[in-house]
Structure 1
């Protein structure tokens, strides 16, 4: 179980034991922490805030907690030892303890109890921890005595939203003009066009050509020859390349100098001046259907051109409204994010970078590529990838912290029925175990709370109250 997140369940061992004494209070990897009964006794917890979004917890649990943990540890250990005359799990506790030794019993009891006490202490003190404790010191762990420990942990920073209700963002709307509609209908015509090979003229704008292309830089080849179809459209293809193909006939060869864009796929070639070598194989002309009632029938959206225009006007309006809505929300969230300044704990940034990399690795795996092969193919290192992910991670963590603060300030609560519906949607009908469901419920509640805060931010920015 990660120490600071009750939604996770797998233990992690973070501290080495000093030589010459048994280590207690640190869970072995893979160990499980029992759920805490509602009747568990109150802990004594003090919280000392420290610089850098850190706190030190000082916790004391009563002797009854220790005694119960020791009894449970002996029951678990009894199933792991073989004692003459007893079946596994049936030997008396005092014989089990004699066989394994008190240090083993104490370690087993502490490994289960201390992480549970830590999570209870966080909840009792209202502390939002980030990750595992950086430092943990456990006092004597003995029968019949209280147990004490201190834990230094990074926490969510305290955020002052200031006069956030005065934030305003202009809501701009996209107008669907006749010109935009005409452009959309031209795309419809293009979608129903036919490519007809031509041999009696050179390539011209709008044609689709088949050519073998290679690329060199300073006389050295940087891309192997490859045959591909190229539509001679300056809006969709590198303009310099289009210029080099225009005017060539089938069977002609040529070359053209091109400055590659700054977002070119190969990082080492971004912004570079290269030469494309061209061997033109075939020219095809795009033949468009007429712009009349027959196009509506062909496109299956009405019987007349007027009906077709009305259909695509509706599509454009709905699309524009969705894009405007998404753009406006992004502008509002950026305004809220940039209105507050605070230091973000490094642990939160690193955790977000880890999440981004896991998502990337998962997407690559779905596409049949290993992450290490991706790094090799793109000429990157894991350090470089993490470095490039840092700024987006900072922005995302900052926004989430502000949304969390806004949700608290506005009293936004999530109904349990909403969480259940979201869990069902995310699980896709799969049967979930207790731990998976708990984890998914935690994530769903968090996302719904953020969503509610984002909606409230939009209302504020519009001046709706």
Structure 2
């Protein structure tokens, strides 16, 4: 087989492949066998029809077409491997020559990852937020906990902001009731602005038994966006009572005996959260700093697919939230053009981040061990709420293991970058990322030192070990490089929707 590679652009090539006809013999034999099972010729059982009769009654051309279709995937794969290119997406294949008994040739145009080298990343410096927990943050967390244990008592007065009113609502358009916009016995927090626009203004001042009619656009349903005449009737008004901040509340809301112990625990938990955020920010900014040193062309089609993926995610999010895209843009104070531009920029940066991490993994000769794949699957299964075995079977059956290997490799490549980056907080303090990670994992410095000493006694020091070999330790963070690239790109949608993979795995 002969393969020529023509570079159409830095990110797209055309493969011209010539194949000696003899190489198609196994595919021709397979084609005859399969067609023989399908045709019905008098005097021959299915699967026993001779090739000459198939040529006569079905046609040699049909056999050749079946054989070519069967051979193309393997031949294309061999051509890609021999050409040493990193292909992206599906190729556009065209059979250019098919002479029975002599020659078979085809072309394949496909996007490729551009060829480049990742520059030296030693000496990069990034600045992250201070890992500070303020008294205000502690108090806010405790206040949120108080809200969960609040009680409601009836009030013999008109509703005020912060009260809970039990209401009936009837919405009408042109005198006809809109059933999906009407409700009875609905408990609503006055002032929360979580329902129909204008409802909060109407409820303030209404007591039990009062009603009022106003006009507002319906937020959802069959008549979403249409103005309706809405009559709201108050059944009752209740006042929210928060528990006192004392030891009794601490015992009610936690495993602690005193309010001081509860405060200390809240501060500790918040401290862990801000340190985790600090580590995540360090990874994001380390990737950003590396990407700033690399200039590479990006395949338009790959970027477009990433844009489509992000738009589909946003659409799923909005459907789950019962919002329209227009409402979302209004809330974000963005025009359609600004939003599209932000998504396109984020998509390009995410694609670029993936390319750079892939190339870094190649340069540093990183690889993925079976234990690392298992750890990744278990971690993902825990996040998705499914059994690891169930997720593993889904990934295998849907041929998604190569994508998982890529994710783990990218994560290891990013870990390697972070190891070589100097991380400081806004106050100028240098942060030992490894030490913080060990702290979050519950490891003490003493335990770490003991582990290292034990390892040194068991295994002689190997001074020939390379940074790449050292980096083959499984990543301690659950964050994937795809998520890191998304964060670095400041992805436009405010919150990620559940991935299709998650939904399908749960249904599997």
After TM superposition, the score normalised by the length of structure 2 is: 0.64
Query: What is the count of residue pairs matched by the alignment?
Result: 402
Question: CA 1:204 to 1:448, structure 2 compared with 1: closer, same or farther past 3 Å?
Answer: same
Shift of 1:363: 8.2
The 2-side partners of 1:96 and 1:400 are apart by 50
RMSD between aligned alpha carbons?
4.8
The 2-side partners of 1:339 and 1:209 are apart by 58
Q: Does 1:460 pair with 2:420?
A: yes
Q: Does 1:288 pair with 2:242?
A: yes
Q: How does 1:307-456 map to 2 (within 5 A)?
A: 307-353=261-307, 355-356=309-310, 391=344, 392-420=346-374, 422=376, 428-430=388-390, 436-437=396-397, 439-456=399-416
Shift of 1:357: 6.5
The 1-side partners of 2:195 and 2:121 are apart by 45
> Greater helix share, 1 or 2?
2
Q: How does 1:212-361 map to 2 (within 5 A)?
A: 228-232=186-190, 249-250=207-208, 281-353=235-307, 355-356=309-310
Question: CA 1:88 to 1:225, structure 2 compared with 1: closer, same or farther past 3 Å?
Answer: closer
The 1-side partners of 2:323 and 2:51 are apart by 55
Alignment-derived partner of residue 110 in structure 2: 153
The 2-side partners of 1:321 and 1:237 are apart by 36
Q: Does 1:181 pair with 2:141?
A: no
The 1-side partners of 2:275 and 2:395 are apart by 40
Alignment-derived partner of residue 163 in structure 2: 207
State the Cα deviation string for residues 58-80 of structure 1 (Å, max 9, x = none).
Answer: 22233431223222222222212
Shift of 1:317: 1.9
Alignment-derived partner of residue 121 in structure 1: 79
Question: CA 1:376 to 1:352, structure 2 compared with 1: closer, same or farther past 3 Å?
Answer: closer
Shift of 1:102: 1.4
State the Cα deviation string for residues 339-378 of structure 1 (Å, max 9, x = none).
Answer: 544332122133334545776788899x7x9xxx998999
The 2-side partners of 1:431 and 1:84 are apart by 50
The 1-side partners of 2:30 and 2:394 are apart by 22
SS of residue in 1 equivalent to 2:128: coil
Alignment-derived partner of residue 149 in structure 2: 192
The 2-side partners of 1:341 and 1:180 are apart by 41
Alignment-derived partner of residue 15 in structure 1: none
SS of residue in 2 equivalent to 1:138: strand
The 1-side partners of 2:400 and 2:123 are apart by 35
When structure 1 is superposed on structure 2, of 106-115 and 225-234 the one drifting more is: 225-234
Q: How does 1:89-104 map to 2 (within 5 A)?
A: 89-104=47-62
Shift of 1:141: 3.6
The 1-side partners of 2:196 and 2:281 are apart by 28
CA contact (8 A) 2:318 2:325 kept: no
Q: How does 1:45-194 map to 2 (within 5 A)?
A: 45-51=3-9, 53-134=11-92, 136-143=94-101, 145-194=102-151
After TM superposition, the score normalised by the length of structure 1 is: 0.69
Shift of 1:52: 5.1
Shift of 1:117: 0.4
Shift of 1:121: 0.6
The 1-side partners of 2:348 and 2:198 are apart by 38
Alignment-derived partner of residue 8 in structure 1: none
